[in-house]
Amino acid sequence: MALSSIKGTLQEILSTVFDLTNGWLNVNLGTLIEGEDQTARVLGTFTKPVASATYAPLRSTGFGTAVSAVASAQASAVVAVYASNANAAVRYCQLFNRATALAGGETPIVSFPIPAGTINNSGVLLLDSAFFAPSSYQSIGTVWAISTTNATYTTATAADHNVIVRYVQ
């Protein structure tokens, strides 16, 4: 292929995406990526999880054995919370921006009621990344707890609760 024909082809390609008058590069979703419906002006996407420990959320759990835990002792972001309550009274799932264990009486940054339940029909709290939009950042660390009171941490009964906190750091 002659150099002049390569030059001509390159000029044709560039003339469709480069506006010489204004000195702008003309691009749109149709010229950059696939998956768009230009008639409806939408772009279809699908989130594909990465199979890698580098990007996977970590998990802190308590299955009837703990009512509080230091999920992360460094800056982290909560992406999802699951908590169940087999107690006949409402309990509260709380998150704290700290890196050390709780002693009692601390004020949470958020407190979510978990409905009352029974051993056969537990009350459930489920908050995913749509709630956290997509995460709740804690600059010091992440501690979770189950409390009998809403505004401060008061130890609940461990055997009544299952907790899963998903976070990234």
Q: Which of 29-38, 49-58, 80-89, 157-166 is the least confident region?
A: 29-38
Which tens digits make up the pLDDT trace of 107-148?
A: 999 999 999 999 999 999 999 988 888 889 999 999 999 999
Contact indicator for 31, 17 with CB cutoff of 8 Å: yes
The answer, yes or no, to whether residue 47 has pLDDT greater than 60, is: yes
Degrees (nearest 5) of the Cα angle 79, 83, 88?
155
User: Which amino acid is it at 153?
Assistant: Y
Counting residues of the chain whose pLDDT is more than 90, the rounded percentage is: 62
pLDDT tens, position by position, 71-119: 999 999 999 999 999 999 999 999 999 999 999 999 999 999 999 999 9
The amino acid at residue 152 is T
**Eight-state DSSP code of residue 126:** E
